[in-house]
């Protein structure tokens, strides 16, 4: 998996992740106790392992434009010969 970190005001994302972990625990879903790292997944490989060291080095100094997310979507991804993404729900972010 190739991902990039998310910077800025991520405290709300951390709280959301904590609440999701707690809700999962209440209904019996066991999750690994890992530190939350806000990120965007950029790519996945069907073949593992794949050496992307050169790609990462080429992009290491890149800083993309700043933007503010307007909504959060709960998406189920089904991976196979073709990836399928199904949106279950969407919530507006920011002041109501």
Give me the domain span that covers residue 53.
2-61+68-92
Predicted confidence (pLDDT) at residue 89 exceeds the cutoff of 90: yes
**Residue 86: pLDDT band by 50, 70, 90 thresholds?**
very high
The answer to whether the CB of 93 falls within 8 A of the CB of 71 is: yes
Encoding tokens for residue 7?
């910077």
Encoding tokens for residue 69?
């997310």
**Residue 96: pLDDT band by 50, 70, 90 thresholds?**
low
Predicted confidence (pLDDT) at residue 65 exceeds the cutoff of 90: no
pLDDT digits (tens, 9 = 90+) for 12-59: 888 888 888 899 889 998 877 788 888 888 877 777 788 888 888 888
Helix then strand then coil, in percent of the chain rounded to 5, is 25, 25, 50
Domain count for the chain = 1
Scored b (16 or more CB within 10 A) or e, 52-67 reads eeeeeeeeeeeeeeee
């Amino acid at each position: 998996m190739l991902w990039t970190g998310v910077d800025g005001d991520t405290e709300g994302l951390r709280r959301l992740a904590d609440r999701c972990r707690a809700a999962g625990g209440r209904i019996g879903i066991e999750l690994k106790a890992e530190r939350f790292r806000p990120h965007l997944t950029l790519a996945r490989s069907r073949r593992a392992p794949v050496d992307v060291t050169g790609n990462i080095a080429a992009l290491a100094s890149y800083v993309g434009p700043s933007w503010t997310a307007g909504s959060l979507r709960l998406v189920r991804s089904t991976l196979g010969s073709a990836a399928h993404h199904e949106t279950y729900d969407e919530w507006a972010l920011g002041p109501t």
